Chain A
Amino acid sequence: MADTTARVLQGNEASAIGALAAGVDFFAGYPITPSSEIAELLSQCMPLINGRFIQMEDEIASIAAIIGASLAGATSMTATSGPGFSLMQENIGLACLAEVPCVIVNVMRAGPSTGLPTQAAQGDVQQTRWGTHGDHAIVALAPSTVRECFELTVECVNLAERLRTPTVLLMDEVIGHMRESVVLPSGDEYRLVRRIEPPTGLRDYCPFGECVPEVAALAAFGGEYRFHVTGLTHDAHGYPTMVPEEVDWKIRHIVGKIESRADQLASNEEFMTEDADVLLFAYGSTARVAKASVRALREAGVKAGLLRVRTIWPFSQKRLRELAPGLRLVVVPEMNLGQLVVEVERAVCGEARVVPLGKVDGHLFEPGDITEFVLEEVGA
């Protein structure tokens, strides 16, 4: 029986509950506002569900611990905010290259540096994509509602397990701390995906070899197979290699397994886009405000619509390309000085004018900010 009781939950709480629903049984983290509620709630639950929680000495150790736990078979997660996310970057790269499933929740706050703790911002969009060094790809999902904090946490776990890669739940502070009435999905409304494990009795298990079908099967440490995992570029068995063909294959594989699925992984919400010639492109809390702006713009006679993306990375150009021929203007409001707008420009490719609308004062947009900006841009 599904529980259909509406309850008032915070985005961070919904994410933590989503993690439990998704089977997360190991959490390592370090205190940082505005993400700490996730660690607090999970520290309360883990001992009673046969999971384990540990507060590490810093964020570097936290991500290291969840990678280690994942290799030993756990479903693992950490949660942090901008400064901690910066510290995690090197080990995120290790998880990308060594293809270790794990989930990082990043509740964005205003930066750079200590910045403006803890006001709203969306300043980590490009850090999420390019924060670790070297060529790689990443999966990042951005919720706009408390229910989506639950759903997308489950999805982050699923995608991490399916594609053997770190995934990021990219919340902003407004969503993380927002409380709203919510009915969470019941067990039959979401599915759980687990990593493919190798069959028993293999004579030669290759943890980084043949893909079945998307990635190689991953055994847990302590099981039937012993293997080597390294942050050095490695061959199919996991041993370091400098053979150009093997190195080339490895890097193209970790990028390709994600980027080639950009359209498949895309998850959008559209609002009044059917006849729109002015498109608002937004994500996270900004998209909620943009929706109100669309209504106001319609009242003012502007044919506005909203394309809201849940999947930030990999960035899918598909829907934007389909919409672009009918558009004259695309406005991209972001609580930064223009991060995802760069991807929007690449997708629209000159077919419509793309204008960023940045905000970096620590406060969220108000509908009037976006409405007035658009009216000015369309010369109304």
Chain B
Amino acid sequence: MSRSIEKAREYLRPTKKFPTVWCPGCGLGIVQSALVRAISRVGVEKNAVTVVSGIGCTGRMPAYVDFNTLHTTHGRALAFSTGVKLASPSMTVIAVMGDGDALAIGGNHFVHACRRNIDMTAIVVNNSIYGMTGGQYSPTTPHGKRGTTAPYGNVEHAFDTAALAVGAGATFVARTSVYHAQEADRLIEKAILHRGFSVVEIISNCYTSYGRMNKYTSAVDMLRWMKENSVPVSAWDKLPPEKREGKFTRGVISEKELPEFIEAYDEQGRRLTRTPAAVERVRDILTAYDENADRLRVADERSGEAESGRGENKT
């Protein structure tokens, strides 16, 4: 067994759930490998990682990876992730979603997660179609392309996922494709290490549903399209406008510093514990039931809590 396969087995659940439900040629296996390689490079303990998903082909990924894993309802992965992270701030929380899951039914959660800047990572696996339900058009199906519910070509226009994330306030936004698997490792690693909400869009291929209906001859043909139509962010500006048509950028698209939600919330709490009026107001509410059960914390007791993690401390 090669070293890399051995390494992969350490992060997967090989004895439990394989083979995957994914079709031959699907890009999701590449994304899953990139995810575990990235986590391995960051070096975080498996028990300190939670991978959350919604519904769809991408939604099945958590069953195969050996972390705390949570497979939720359609579109809601980021909302569940928010709860996990707020209850356990030391946890590395990663949500994996497909394009329909993240941007159609989950679009509202997506933009608000971008706005809040909680330290989590969202991976959007964008294959431009609803794969699991058989190939209906999605919010990222390009105009004119076909799906089983766009049999004459898509009348609508696609989201630019990365631009949407930047516009909604995400503090780290990157994009690559399943053809660029090693770049995916590095971008996911950067996203995890970024202190704030990170989005990594990974352009993927669904040959079974999308490729078949849109005149790709094979899964490899679709990967070739990614290779030929992606441009590194650094090269994009030098490209004349006529050569940008139909192409997408890859690399780190946007990165900025903004106070992280939990840090800001806890800092506000620490300030309040030093504010007699606030303490008195809450003490008055709490003593309504039992002065012995006073849960008020003295100033500074809260500091350092985010590092130690509440999940582990709970008895």
A, B in one complex:
yes
A68, CB-defined interface residue at 8 Å = yes
Return the chain B residue nearest A232 by Cβ: B71
Interface segment among A40-48, A121-129, A157-165, A334-342: the answer is A40-48
Mask: chain B, 255-294; 1 = CB below 8 Å from A; 0 = not:
0000000100110110011000011011001111111110
| Structural contact, A21 and B82, CB atoms closer than 8 A | no
Contact (Cβ within 8 A) A20 B295? yes
Nearest chain B CB to A326's CB is how many angstroms away? Answer: 40
A229 touches B87 (CB 8 A): no
**Minimum CB–CB distance for A360 against chain B, Å:** 32
Q: Is the CB of B76 within 8 A of A60?
A: yes
Chain B residues positioned under 8 Å from A222 (CB to CB): 47-48, 50, 68, 88, 90-91, 309, 311-312
**What does the 1/0 interface line of A44-62 toward B look like (CB < 8 Å)?**
1101111010101110111
Stretch binding the partner chain, chosen from A69-77, A109-117, A170-178, A209-217: A69-77
Residues of B close to A50: CB separation below 8 A: 269, 295, 297, 301-302, 305, 310
Q: Which of B52, B67, B83, B268 contacts A69 (CB 8 A)?
A: B83
Q: With both chains docked as a complex, state the minimum distance between the C-beta of B238 and any C-beta of chain A, in angstroms.
A: 39
Is A239 a contact partner of B63 (Cβ separation < 8 A)?
yes
- Complex interface residues of chain B between 3 and 35 (CB less than 8 A to chain A): 16-17
B291 lies within 8 A of A64 (CB) = no
- Candidates B63, B86, B287; contact of A240 at CB < 8 Å: B63
Interface status of B236 (Cβ within 8 A of chain A): no
Chain B nearest CB from A247 CB (Å) reads: 16
Among candidates B87, B297, B301, residue contacting A73 with C-beta atoms closer than 8 Å: B87
Q: Is the CB of A229 within 8 A of B91?
A: no
Q: Which residues of B contact A240 (CB under 8 A)?
A: 63
CB–CB A228/B69 < 8 A: yes
What are the residues of chain B within 8 A of A28 when measuring CB–CB? Answer: 82-83
Q: How far is the CA of A2 from the CA of B291 in the complex (A)?
A: 7
Decide yes or no whether B98 CB sits under 8 A from chain A.
no
In the complex, whether B80 has a CB less than 8 A from a CB of chain A is yes
**Taking CB as reference atom, which chain A residue is nearest B305?**
A50
The answer for the CA separation of A374 and B38 in the assembled complex, in Å, is 72
In the assembled complex, the Cα of A91 lies from the Cα of B79 at a distance in Å of 11
A256 at the interface (CB under 8 A from B): no
Is B70 an interface residue, CB under 8 A from the partner? yes
B-chain residues with CB within 8 Å of residue A245 when the two chains form the complex: none
Q: Are A64 and B80 within 8 A (Cβ)?
A: yes
**Cβ 8 A contact of A64, one of B73, B91, B272, B281:** B73
Interchain CB contact (< 8 A) of A65 among B80, B279, B314: B80
A48 touches B76 (CB 8 A): no
Q: Are A72 and B47 in contact (CB under 8 A)?
A: no
- CB of A81, distance to nearest CB on chain B (Å): 19
- A57/B108 contact (C-beta < 8 A), A44-B281, A67-B80, A76-B87 known: yes
Q: Is the pair A69, B87 in contact by a Cβ cutoff of 8 Å?
A: yes
Cα distance, A94 to B289, chains bound together (Å): 33
User: Which residue of chain B has the shortest Cβ distance to A42 in the bound complex?
Assistant: B285
Taking CB atoms, residues of chain B closer than 8 Å to A21 are 289-290, 293
Nearest-neighbour CB distance to chain B for A91, whole angstroms, equals 6
* Chain B residues within 8 Å of chain A by Cβ, number: 64
Q: Which residues of chain A have C-beta atoms less than 8 A from B249's C-beta? A: none
Which chain B residues border A74 with CB–CB below 8 Å?
83, 86-87, 310, 314
Note all chain A residues with C-beta closer than 8 A to B268.
47
List A1-33 residues whose CB lies under 8 Å from chain B.
1-3, 7, 9, 17-18, 20-21, 26, 28
Are B73's CB and A91's CB within 8 A?
yes
A79 to chain B, nearest CB (A): 15
User: Does the CB pair A61–B76 fall under 8 Å?
Assistant: yes
Query: Is A224 on the interface with B (CB-CB < 8 A)?
Result: yes
Query: Which B residues are in CB contact (< 8 Å) with A230?
Result: 62-63, 70-71
The verdict on B177 contacting chain A, using a C-beta distance below 8 Å, is: no
Within 8 Å of chain A (Cβ to Cβ): is B156? no
**CB-based contact B72/A94 at 8 Å:** yes
Shortest CB-to-CB span from A143 to chain B, Å, is 15
Q: How many Å lie between the Cα of A224 and that of B45 in the bound state?
A: 11
Tell me, yes or no, whether A201 is within 8 Å of chain B by CB. no
Cβ contact within 8 Å between A73 and B88: yes
Report which of B73, B88, B293 forms a contact with A187, defined as CB distance below 8 A: B293
- Which residues from B are CB-within-8-Å of A73? 87-88, 310-311, 314
- Interface membership of A244, Cβ < 8 A: no
Whether A252 sits at the interface, judged by CB under 8 Å, is no
Query: Is A237's beta carbon under 8 Å from chain B?
Result: yes
Is the C-beta of A223 less than 8 angstroms from some C-beta in chain B? yes
CB contacts (< 8 Å) of A72 on chain B: these are 50, 83-85, 87-88, 91, 310-311
Cβ A52 vs Cβ B296 within 8 A: no
Contact B297 A64 (CB under 8 A): no
CB pair A66–B312 under 8 Å, yes or no, is no
**Do B46 and A226 have beta carbons less than 8 Å apart?**
yes
- Say yes or no: A57-B290 contact (C-beta < 8 A), given A49-B282, A49-B297: no
**B171 interfacial by beta-carbon distance below 8 Å:** no
Known: A44-B281, A50-B297, A76-B87. 18 other contacts (CB 8 A): A3-B288, A9-B288, A21-B293, A26-B87, A45-B286, A47-B266, A48-B269, A48-B273, A49-B297, A50-B302, A64-B72, A68-B82, A72-B311, A187-B289, A222-B312, A224-B47, A226-B68, A229-B70
22 A–B contacts, CB within 8 A, in A order: A2-B290, A7-B288, A44-B281, A44-B282, A48-B269, A48-B272, A49-B295, A50-B302, A54-B82, A56-B112, A60-B79, A62-B79, A64-B76, A68-B52, A68-B81, A69-B83, A69-B86, A72-B83, A74-B83, A187-B290, A187-B293, A226-B68
Return the 4 tightest CB-CB contacts between A and B, nearest first: A68-B83, A222-B311, A47-B269, A64-B79
